[in-house]
Amino acid sequence: MPGLATILTTGMVLVGTSFTLLAQTQMGTNHSQSTDGVEVPPSEVAEHLIAGHQLIHSATSSDGVGSYVWLKIVATPSGTVLSATPVSEASEFSERATSLAMRWQFRPFLRSGSPVYAGFLSSVLIVPPERRPRERTPFPETKDWDTLQMTLERAGACIGGCPVYRLIVFGNGKVAYEGHGFVEYCGEHRGHIPQESVRKLVDLFRQADFFNLFDQYVFHAADENSFTTSITLGGKTKSVDDSRGELVGMPEAVSDVENSIDQLAGPKVWAKDSDTNLECKQAFVPTTTSRIPAKIQ
């Protein structure tokens, strides 16, 4: 969930599927030896993925668009992939999926403070070709950082609950967060991220050619999380609605932007000393606080 492809923890992990736990600890003194690794919870895997494609674009497929290639992944203590072995039935995309998975990069998985091998199942999704408007709108130049604003809103009706929140990042590094349900941080929170992170996010929007996207990539389904991502820059604003957009041709780089906003500017980065709310984490709890202002002084 290209650049940083941090994956969502909303019941759709690595392109809409949840990880299945594998493996018992099988650590040896020789790290060059293959190992199944320590079993890792799906949420932990999602939070540790920092780079890697999870989609294969195909105009035609005998397997059918929306099908998966499942792989058994073993990650090394440094976060690289030691092995990626297809475990689903033979597919025309098995070789390509394996090649993609071997380039995934994770933050090291720690146990008792030390990095370990980690084992889990993951998948690569087969999707249609990417779609963009015929007439390209160029990405604006970054002239006035004070006018910069990046927003991510998440909502949905997932079985079991999807996170519902709003996150705004300003050009000066200030962050405003509003958590409504199925999140650790409920209500309004304020924070700050380094200017380097702000610039990295803008670079990801630019790499995604964000102003050259359709306004909506929506695959209609009853149980889906939805995302609205927007950026205001150089006096221009662009917003994209995503609901399983990869199934209708949304470029994978859009998911990278969504996930990177979470990873670089979410409350877990700057609100570590704030109290979490158990009720809000397990259910939808409407807040009574005012809306986040358009600009924070």
Q: What is the pLDDT of residue 283?
A: 63
Q: How many helices (H) and strands (E) does the chain have?
A: 6, 16
Helix (H, G, I), strand (E, B) or coil at 135: coil
Q: What angle do CA 249, 252, 257 make, to 5 degrees?
A: 130
Q: What is the pLDDT of residue 83?
A: 95
CA distances from residue 181 to 92, 155, 203 in whole angstroms, order as listed: 41, 9, 30
Which helix (H) or strand (E) element contains residue 199? helix 195-207
Q: What is the pLDDT of residue 285?
A: 57
Strand partners, 174: 192
| Pairing assessment for the beta strands 114-116 and 109-111 based on DSSP bridges | antiparallel
d(C-alpha 7, C-alpha 137), whole Å:
28
Residue with tokens 């992939």: 81
Q: What is the pLDDT of residues 182-224, one digit of tens each?
A: 888 888 899 999 999 999 999 999 999 999 999 999 987 656 7
CA distances from residue 220 to 46, 95, 223, 243, 246 in whole angstroms, order as listed: 24, 30, 9, 7, 12
d(C-alpha 196, C-alpha 256), whole Å:
17
Which of 90, 14, 96 minimizes the C-alpha distance to 48? 14
Q: What is the pLDDT of residue 256?
A: 92
Cite the beta strand spans of 76-224 per DSSP E. Answer: 81-86, 105-106, 109-111, 114-116, 118-127, 149-156, 164-170, 174-181, 187-192, 216-218
Q: With the C-alpha atoms ordered 12, 15, 16, 17, is the resulting torsion angle positive or negative?
A: negative
Averaged over successive runs of 10 residues, the pLDDT of the chain (297 residues) comes to 34 33 33 67 83 84 73 96 90 92 95 95 91 94 90 80 91 94 86 96 97 93 81 94 92 94 92 64 54 43
d(C-alpha 247, C-alpha 182), whole Å:
25
Q: Per CATH, is 145-282 categorized as 3.30.1560.10?
A: yes
Helix (H, G, I), strand (E, B) or coil at 173: coil
Q: List the structure tokens of 160.
A: 């079991």
Residue with tokens 């090649």: 99
Q: What is the pLDDT of residue 5?
A: 35
Q: 190 with 178: CB under 8 angstroms? A: no
> Which residue spans of the chain are classified as CATH 3.30.1560.10?
145-282
pTM of the model: 0.75
